[in-house]
Structure 1
Amino acid sequence: MSKRIQVDIAGQTLTLFDDDRVLADYRVSTGLNGVGEENGSGCTPRGLHRVRLRIGDGCPVGTVFRGRRPTGEVCDASLVAANPGRDWILTRILWLTGCESGRNRGGRVDTLRRYIYIHGTPDSEPMGVPRSHGCIRMRNLDLIDLFDRIPRGTRVEILG
């Protein structure tokens, strides 16, 4: 059996498969600027990726990350209100690396160097609507569910 993830940009969904059997479907939020691979574009990269690193195992729901490290904060409505416009990276991080040289790996199109993650976001942020800076945002409890089901190296295909 082989677990894999498929992100559908048009449908704003992330599906976890085991071979061809659907294990879970989640609503997500991808790049506000659409799809694209260029560094600095704010777009969600397409193509085949893998989970390079799993970060945050065991951290409380709502743990705030900056530079992939917990800040010691736990996100709540008052923290969000006090920091308008902050790009929240919460709970867990699945850091992606591109597998297609010239498309999403290497040079100005390198997903890993662009710091593209699957990560949690405040509950106040809508799902099913493109709103991120290029990452794939999920509800925190959905992200924990996904995180706990997949190993490092899991294949992630982003369809745009």
Structure 2
Amino acid sequence: MRVKFPEQRVIFLCLSAALLATSVQRQAAASSVLADNSTINQPPSENLSPFAEPEMPPVGEPSLYLPSPETEPTSTIDNTSLVIKLSQRRVYVYQDDNLKGSYPIAVGKAGWETPTGRYQVIDMRRHPAWEHPWNGKVIPPGRDNPLGVRWIGFWTDGRNFIGFHGTPDESLVGQAVSHGCIRMRNQDVLALYALVKIGTPVTVEP
């Protein structure tokens, strides 16, 4: 499933501080330090490389998909990686190259196959809302939401996303029925969400 999220509100907390100077010399020194620091610690730019993909409907502006700090949890397990085996309809969880477990999944159907390759987790959301790509209807979090209780995105072309997510119809897990996404039982995607973080490697194999 190529998915779209409605824009989320981000609340910024602004902190103010007063600087007290006892002399003109201390004020000048503080200004010099601030000037020096303004040239370092610049945030790195982030570039998402597009990947080849089948025809798909447009689903909105890329800015709606950018992860916020509120959706980037810290993994409780270091050196975790995920391997999706499409033919087996399972995702395997590794820690330091040691297999720790696996979960059944649903994968992309014919014409909407899940793209193979090496990726990484780029977006994580709790209780995601979903916007229908054809009619624009927004389905809020809840029992009927097609994304279930969690979203873990790992592929994008700049407009569309593919990732792991829950489903309201768990009977379809194990089949090739999605528009490219990896569907999981809600209890399984909850467990997987707790094991990964932004940057976790994801490999998709045939």
TM-score, reference length from structure 1: 0.69
Q: Which has the higher strand share?
A: 1
Larger RCO, structure (CA 8 Å, separation 6 or more): 1
Distance 2:202 2:160 in 1: 16
Answer yes or no: is the 8 Å Cα contact 2:118–2:202 preserved in 1. Answer: yes
Answer yes or no: is the 8 Å Cα contact 1:65–1:90 preserved in 2. Answer: no
Distance 1:147 1:74 in 2: 18
- Residue 92 of structure 1 corresponds to 150
Answer yes or no: is the 8 Å Cα contact 2:105–2:174 preserved in 1. Answer: yes
TM-score, reference length from structure 2: 0.55
- Residue 204 of structure 2 corresponds to 158
Shift of 1:138: 0.4
Distance 1:14 1:20 in 2: 14
- Residue 108 of structure 2 corresponds to 31
Letter in 1 for 2:123: L
- Residue 102 of structure 1 corresponds to none
Question: Which consecutive segments of 4 or more residues in structure 1 shift more than 6 A?
Answer: none
Distance 1:73 1:123 in 2: 15
Distance 2:178 2:205 in 1: 16
Uncovered stretches (5+) of structure 1, i.e. residues with no partner: 34-40, 80-86, 99-109
Distance 2:179 2:150 in 1: 17
Q: 2:129 matched to 1:65? A: yes
Q: Cα–Cα, structure 1 residues 124 and 13, in superposed 2: closer, same or farther, change >3 Å?
A: closer
RMSD, aligned α-carbons = 2.3
- Residue 99 of structure 2 corresponds to 22
Answer yes or no: is the 8 Å Cα contact 1:2–1:19 preserved in 2. Answer: yes
Uncovered stretches (5+) of structure 2, i.e. residues with no partner: 1-77, 132-137
Answer yes or no: is the 8 Å Cα contact 1:13–1:25 preserved in 2. Answer: yes
Distance 2:194 2:139 in 1: 22
Q: 2:150 matched to 1:121? A: no
Answer yes or no: is the 8 Å Cα contact 1:27–1:128 preserved in 2. Answer: yes
Shift of 1:114: 2.8
Q: Cα–Cα, structure 1 residues 124 and 148, in superposed 2: closer, same or farther, change >3 Å?
A: closer
Answer yes or no: is the 8 Å Cα contact 2:155–2:163 preserved in 1. Answer: no
Q: How many residues align?
A: 124
- Residue 60 of structure 2 corresponds to none
What percentage of aligned pairs have identical amino acids? 26
Shift of 1:134: 0.7
Greater gyration radius:
2
Distance 2:169 2:81 in 1: 26
